[in-house]
Structures are given as C-alpha cells and as structure tokens.
Amino acid sequence: MSRRAVLGGALAATAGVALGGTAAASPGGKRLRVLVATNEPWGTYHVSPLLAEARRRGWRLTQLVPDLSQIKPGDPVPTATPETAAAADLLVVAGAGDWPVECADRFRRLPLAASGLAYLGPQEAALARRLHPRLRVITAASPAAARAFAGYLGTRRSVRVVGSPQTDDLPRRVPEPGLVLVLTSVTHADDTGGAAPGTELLLAAAERLEAAGRRILVGLHPREDPALWDRYEISEVPSLEASARAEAAIGIPGTVFPLIAAVGTPLVGCVDPELTVPDYLLAVCSSTIDDAALAVSAVDKARLPGPETLADAIGPIGGSAGRLFDRWSKAARG
C-alpha cells in the first residue's frame, strides 16, 4: 500500500473524532513556556520530536527531570529539575506514573494537560485520578491511542486526536531487497523506565532471518544495550527513518509501530507471554510470532493491514505538532 493510501485512510478515519485546532499559530500568539513530565523521568526521546514546532512558535519547552545525572551532554531537549525550572504557563504530563504525578503536585498553580506521547496500556494507572480535577485537555495521536489513553487515565472525557508529530515529515519509502529492520525494546529496566520482555525471542528471530539470507539492520530503542546487537548493522538514524529502507520490520511492538506502518513498511510483532501492549499496536502487525522458527515465513508474507485499521492506529498525518501545540495553547489560556 502506498503512503498516499495510508495518508488518505488516516485522514478519513478522523471524521467524527475530536480533532485539535489549526496547524499554524497566529503571528501575535503568546510564546508559551511549557514544562513536560513523562513516565520515563530522564527519557527525553519522547519530547525531542516536539522541538521543531517549539522553535517555530518561539515557545520554551522544558522537560522536568529528578536530577541531571542521566542527561547526556549535548541532549537537544532542555531539561530542569522542579527546583531549577523557570516560570511556566503550562504543565504537560505524558502519563500518570509516579514522576508526572509528583510534578503535578509540585506545580499546583499551573494549568495541566495530559498528552500521550508514547503508548500506554488501557489499564487505569494507580495515580491517574489525582490528575482529574485539574486536567484542561487530554490529547492522543490516534483514535485507537485515544481509547487506550482514556482507559489508562480512568476517564470518560473526550480525548482530542491530534496525530503524531513524528509523522509530519515521513521519509519516502525505498525498500532495499532482502533488508529487514529489527526493532528492539529495552532488555533491562532502570531508573529511566521499564523493560519489555521478548528480547531473547527477537534475538533468535534475527538469527533465523540472517541464516535465511536476509540483511539485518537493527533499530535500537534509545535505552537498549547495543552490545546485545553488535553482530549486526546498527542503524545510525532513528528507526522511523531506517524503516523506509526495509522490505519489512520485525520487533517487540511499541510506540514506533504505527509510525512505521505510516511509512508503508509492513511489520511482524514478536510477542512474549509476559508482554502486554494495547491491541492497536498488534493490529498494525501483519502477524505476530511467539516462536523464532516462524520468523522467516512471517517476514516473507508480511503485508500492511487494511486502511481502516491503519487510520485507527496512526491518526491524522500532517500538521500534527501544530494541532498538539494549539491544544496546549488553549489549555494554558483556560
């Protein structure tokens, strides 16, 4: 399926779904100061796709972190602790884990928004209801993500579908014969965030694919241990960009899966009995496997799902960062 077909389906599926505002800010619009807190306290990779829109609007976007101990030198995302953060107009929580809720408690006078910047399961988070009284807007990338995010927050309120900023500039797909992109998760949990089971299955699947003559390109999760994958070529560009080169991708289902489907690259999911992900991440997969012996056949047969499934999982394409920031602007203004 072409990217144009994916785009058309994604836009069509938003009919009747609450969408955000226009993509462009007015010239006289206020330059907002926004603080963001995520479930992965030091993981800035979910905020980095928002920096271009922040620069375009002249906004100051800062991620709140417990301390600077795990922020790498040169990280483009501005960070601050609650103690050092400058005055702000809005706090955005990207989840209801311990850290975002602690930040919400610390900044009680700020307007509060909740935005799903990464996938979250539909099970209600233990602390989610502490956020309810203050939430001015809730946003998510797609209709499916909105349903999962509402369940996670334990709310029946409308969730505004804005799209994913990472789909605003999708790479053009030019698949290379025999190239398979392997998408890792995180093998070991750390203070920055949790891990997803399934690495052993994925490693074994990669070995099977290589033995069958496939070229393996590895798209590492930002927190994955690269030493586990150093026998293969590791992509020097983000997985979304690398997916444009691949005939198919195989990996542990995560936030990037719908984005790669938007590029037009079919996906195979590696699932572990202990792995729990929202159904829509599995729905964008051509198939899922729980045995490495199935990897070669699954990759050979990989196809994109139908346009309705894609649209539900991907959301609107183009102008997504603008829609998100418009929603934040309205929340800050009250």
Instruction: For residue range 151-166, list pLDDT tens digits in order.
Output: 999 999 999 999 999 9
**Distance from first CA to last CA of the chain, Å, rounded?**
42
Task: Identify the pLDDT of residue 192.
Answer: 52
Tell me whether residue 119 is in a domain: yes
> Both 95 and 224 in a single domain?
no
Containing domain of residue 85, as a range? 16-164+315-333
> Both 184 and 131 in a single domain?
no
Tell me whether residue 123 is in a domain: yes
> Both 291 and 323 in a single domain?
no
> Both 189 and 300 in a single domain?
yes
Tell me whether residue 196 is in a domain: yes
The CATH code of the domain that includes 209 is 3.40.50.2000
> Both 28 and 116 in a single domain?
yes
Q: How many CA atoms lie within 13 A of 264 on its CB side?
A: 16
Question: For residue 258, what are the contacts with CB-CB under 8 A and spacing of at least 6?
Answer: 141, 142, 145, 164, 280, 281, 284, 310, 313, 314, 315
Tell me whether residue 170 is in a domain: no
Task: Identify the pLDDT of residue 223.
Answer: 62
* Residues of the chain with confidence (pLDDT) below 70: 1-29, 186-198, 223-224
Structural domain count, the chain: 2
CB 183 within 8 A of CB 256: yes
Task: Identify the pLDDT of residue 288.
Answer: 97
H/E element holding 300?
A: helix 295-300
> Both 148 and 42 in a single domain?
yes
Rounded to two decimals, what is the model's pTM? Answer: 0.88
Tell me whether residue 3 is in a domain: no
> Both 183 and 225 in a single domain?
yes
> Both 231 and 200 in a single domain?
yes
> Both 307 and 328 in a single domain?
no
CA distances from 183 to 102, 234, 268 (A): 32, 10, 10
CB 20 within 8 A of CB 323: yes
Tell me whether residue 5 is in a domain: no
